[in-house]
Structure 1
Amino acid sequence: KLKLILTQFLLHLAEKTDGIIVTNDNLRDFVDTSDTWRKIIQERLLQFTFVEDHFMIPDDPLGRNGPHLDMFLRKDGRYVSPAGVPSTRLPAARPQRPAPSLPDRSPGETSELKRKLYDIFPDQKQRIDRILSDNPYMRDLNALSGLLLG
């Protein structure tokens, strides 16, 4: 009963705020409740996993033909199709460097992130180096891991 109430609350909140829901439940019990909830369930569920004690989310939450995680998470990333219908289905895009107000990592921060990523992805050292080099402002281990998994 509590799960039912919490799930309804999350769907109402996602509807009112144009938000996403982070869950591994596919919410199939609610898909026929309304067209709005069906659309939320189909286009705004973000599933996750754990690798050891690291929280991981996919780089392409809606699959290969869906938007990149950066676009999926942006409210303004939803676009209007030529038919005038809002959609979150955008072509995958490389993350763009954020506003210059975010400073680059220090060499120490980079070394620590590199060490942690090497531990999680021991066979991806070259790719890790490239991703860290291409994204000198990123400090979030999960976000960097997502780029590696994408």
Structure 2
Amino acid sequence: MSLVWGFLALLYVSTDGLEPVPVALLAAFFTIFGAGMNVRLERSLERKGEYRPSRKTLALAILAGAGFLAVLFTGVIPALSRPIIGSFYLGIAVAWATRLILLWRWEAKTKRRIYVEGTWVGSFYLVPPGPLQPAPA
């Protein structure tokens, strides 16, 4: 859902015009942010075999998103800084893509599979090798 949200918001911002420098800086920041989220997830998977975010994490994510949307769409932000602020949406998509790539790399390196469950804030589980998945060599 976040990727769709990020894409739609990017379309909205592109009508105002995007400045390349702020977009590149925010993309770099969110790449680092996505890598940090992934490190936390990998450590939890290695230690417990699962990662379940707390309800506090979900509440903070919803409040941050709602607050950001309220500020952006009410017109409180001057028109000149809108492309800068709006490129945060591109950052959301970049953070998710970074996380996805790093999880694929981790799966290939450890020869274990990850099962994701949930819509807004997913729970991640390690899937043991079974009849449909060969055991690691």
Q: TM-score, normalised by structure 2?
A: 0.27
User: Higher RCO, 1 or 2 (CA under 8 Å, sep at least 6)?
Assistant: 2
Higher helix share: 2
